[in-house]
Amino acid sequence: MLRDAVRSLAEAKIGPFAAEVDEEARFPQQALDALVTNDLHAVHVPEAYGGAGADALATVIVIEEIARVCASSSLIPAVNKLGSLPLMLSASEELKAKYLTPLARGEAMFSYCLSEPEAGSDAAGMKTRAVRDGDSYVLDGVKRWITNAGISEYYTVMAVTDPEKRSKGISAFVVEKSDEGVSFGAPEKKLGIKGSPTREVYLDNVRIPADRMIGAEGTGFATAMKTLDHTRITIAAQALGIAQGALDYAKGYVRERKQFGKPVADFQGVQFMLADMAMKIEAARQLTYAAAAKSERVAAGGGDSDLTFQGAAAKCFASDTAMEATTDAVQLLGGYGYTRDYPVERMMRDAKITQIYEGTNQVQRIVMARNLP
């Protein structure tokens, strides 16, 4: 029922604007409005804060179905979870109530500020500083590749509070867009997901109350890594949706397109491509859903045995599958697939980022190797 509801909404209110959003590189406001109206913009927020209280699997299905028609729009629920999950994992009740409640109401979006110009895969090498000054912390630094920057009202920011301790000297904070000293760089000109703005976030002598720290001082990096164990699964879901959208479109096209007097779908070579696409997408789906179930058990206090491995495996396999499936979809449409008149070239461009963000797939393989179950 959830899948059917989200698919109907996505096809009616989000899909029709996907090409325009991509072409104009503009934020998908229609998608945000539709998602907020239907309480699908941040389904993961617990009921205690006014949210839908969706579990990890339900959240994955929502993201998957939105990504099937528009990858940029799927980053609304995905990044709202990424930005706010550190609070759900580590923040005080007061901080959770203050920020999760407006998020649940659709009054604000949340972004996640970990990466920096010189700290990508080596996130612990960050330079952004947070210095205690009485009842405040003063933050200075630059965060790069921040999804939905400038649109989001709230930002979970990782900053160094004790440079001598490397990863154990990093703390997490909530920064508000309206805080004095917060500004944004120009939107990046990207290959795909053009409807989701990616910008630098500048923190210039930003003074925030000390009670906006998430968890204890020095625990920010551990919270960030724990967050990624859960949210990499949402990127797997996004990749899965993109791949499914490409397969669905290609499948319909080859049944209609005729060459040599019969539908292209009747040729065995084409059938083999479709079969491989469908097989790998279903394998990715099972891996992603199993990881989501594991994420939910861990969130409920069931131990974290192999969640790190499962999350990395789901993200890595689903994103590789999405890149392969969208490339094959372009091939199946032939010359038409290479034009913007058809959606598969957009899907191919959108799929690429799923192999890169929230940890490159090379890093995912390192993570998996270190956490073999």
Domain(s) of CATH 2.40.110.10: residues in the chain: 110-218
Q: What is the mean pLDDT of the chain?
A: 97
3-state secondary structure 204-223: EEEEEEHHHEECCCCCHHHH
Question: For 284, phi and psi rounded to 5 degrees?
Answer: -65, -40
Query: What digits encode the pLDDT tens for the residues 295-349?
Result: 999 988 887 679 999 999 999 999 999 999 999 999 999 999 999 999 999 999 9
> According to CATH, where is 1.20.140.10 located in the chain?
221-370
Q: Which residues are catalytic?
A: 358
Segment holding 147, helix H or strand E: strand 136-147
Can you give the pLDDT at residue 304?
A: 66
Residue 323 has φ and ψ, to the nearest 5°, of -65, -40
pLDDT in tens, 355-365: 999 999 999 99
* pLDDT at residue 36 greater than cutoff 70: yes
Residue 373 CB-density burial (10 A; 0-12 exposed, 13-18 middle, 19+ buried)? exposed
Containing 283, the helix (H) or strand (E) segment is helix 268-299
**Structure confidence at residue 302 (pLDDT):** 80
In DSSP terms, 141 is beta-bridged to 203
What does pTM read for this prediction?
A: 0.97
pLDDT in tens, 103-152: 999 999 999 999 999 999 999 999 999 999 999 999 999 999 999 999 99
- Give the number of C-alpha atoms closer than 13 A to the C-alpha of residue 121, restricted to the C-beta side: 10
Rounded Cα distance, 349 and 144, in Å: 21
Q: Are 92 and 266 in contact (CB under 8 A)?
A: no
| Per-residue pLDDT tens digits for 216-247 | 999 999 999 999 999 999 999 999 999 999 99
Q: Are 45 and 106 in contact (CB under 8 A)?
A: no
Match 């209280």 to its residue by tokens: 53
- Residues 49-65 have pLDDT tens digits of 999 999 999 999 999 99
What is the rounded average pLDDT of the residues 70-95? 98
CATH of domain 221-370: 1.20.140.10
Q: Say which CATH superfamily domain 2-105 falls into.
A: Acyl-CoA dehydrogenase/oxidase, N-terminal domain (1.10.540.10)
Q: In the prediction, which pLDDT does 24 show? A: 98
Collapsed DSSP state (helix, strand, coil) of residue 154: strand
Q: Which CATH superfamily is domain 110-218 in?
A: Butyryl-CoA Dehydrogenase, subunit A, domain 2 (2.40.110.10)
The beta-strand segments (E) located in 260-368 are 262-263
Task: Give ranges for CATH 1.10.540.10 in the chain.
Answer: 2-105
